[in-house]
A = this chain, B = another copy of it.
Amino acid sequence: MTKEKLGTWRIDRQLVEDISRHAAYGRRRKFKKNTVLYEQGEVSTRFYFVLKGLVQISIFRADGSEVVLELMGPQTVCGEGSAFDGLPRFSSAAAIEDTEAIEFDTTKMTEIFRAHPEFAALLLRVTSLKQRVLAVRLKHLASREPQDRIMELLTRLEDMFAIDHPRGRLLVTYLTHEQIATMTGTSRVTVTRTLQRLREQNRIDIVDGHILLKRRADGG
């Protein structure tokens, strides 16, 4: 249970059901651990609805360094951005666990939309949600303070993956400091230092290796 690998993204149950209902427009595919779904730079009209496993979405910078955008777990959509705007992939997707996904192709989408306009609305909701998360991340990354950057990630994970705990909310997702560093654009050492500082500020705690976001602003 502890340290089970989970994603950093989730969509609401209704949306998942709605997408699943349209699964027939795509085809089921399997990706072995450490294989690539798509690669930054290539042009493709395909996108994916992850059913099982874990897919790491990352952007490689000109100097070769990697920025991890998300870890997409089951019931998430990825690759739809570049599939719909027709431009080269701006990110790479690699299965870091054995993965199953439904692969959709946008080339026939206009026809599908005519018969099933609700599927179009659905996809618009998904791309809009992604736009939102990216914008919110950007808001925090605009700050140069590591604490802002890291807390943004933690609160986002709280929204998606936390369970209740007597002293607050416990993050089910397990991430190493190294992973947090690549997702927040800081160094590993700074992540350690910052988490330490947050503990001193009584805002978080570590329980069995997992991060606990303490309830705030209550006399305790």
Counting contact residues on chain A (CB < 8 A from B), the size range is 35 or more
Interface of A: prevailing SS: helix
Residues of chain B with a CB closer than 8 A to A138's CB: 59, 67, 69, 134, 137-138, 141
Residues of chain A from 108 to 143 with CB closer than 8 A to chain B in the complex: 109-114, 117-118, 120-121, 123-125, 127-132, 134-143
14 intermolecular pairs with C-beta atoms under 8 Å apart: A80-B128, A81-B131, A82-B132, A83-B128, A85-B129, A86-B125, A87-B129, A90-B132, A110-B120, A117-B120, A127-B127, A131-B134, A134-B135, A143-B185
A111 / chain B contacts, CB cutoff of 8 Å: 117
Identical copies in the complex: 2
Q: Which 5 A-B pairs give the minimum distances between C-beta atoms? A: A142-B185, A113-B117, A120-B120, A134-B134, A85-B128
Alpha-carbon gap, A118 to B84, bound state (A): 12
A8 within 8 A of B: no
State whether the Cβ of A186 lies closer than 8 Å to any Cβ in chain B.
Answer: yes
Shortest distance between the CB of A160 and any CB in chain B (Å): 14
Q: What is the bound-complex CA distance between A102 and B69, given in angstroms?
A: 34
Partner of A90, one of B109, B120, B136, B143: B136
Q: How far is the CA of A91 from the CA of B142 in the complex (A)?
A: 14
Q: B135–A84 contact, CB under 8 A? A: no
The answer to whether the Cβ of A61 comes within 8 Å of any Cβ in the partner chain is yes
A128-B82, A139-B67 given; A110·B114 CB < 8 A: no
Q: In the complex, which residues of chain B have a beta carbon less than 8 angstroms from the beta carbon of A130? A: 131
Which chain B residues lie closer than 8 Å to A118 at the CB level? Answer: 110
Given the known interface contacts A134-B134, A136-B90, the answer about A84 and B117 at a Cβ–Cβ threshold of 8 Å is no
Q: A84-B121, A130-B131 are in contact. List 19 more A-B contacts (CB 8 A).
A: A61-B139, A61-B142, A61-B143, A67-B138, A69-B135, A69-B138, A81-B128, A82-B132, A85-B128, A85-B129, A110-B118, A120-B124, A123-B124, A124-B127, A127-B128, A141-B185, A142-B184, A142-B185, A144-B144
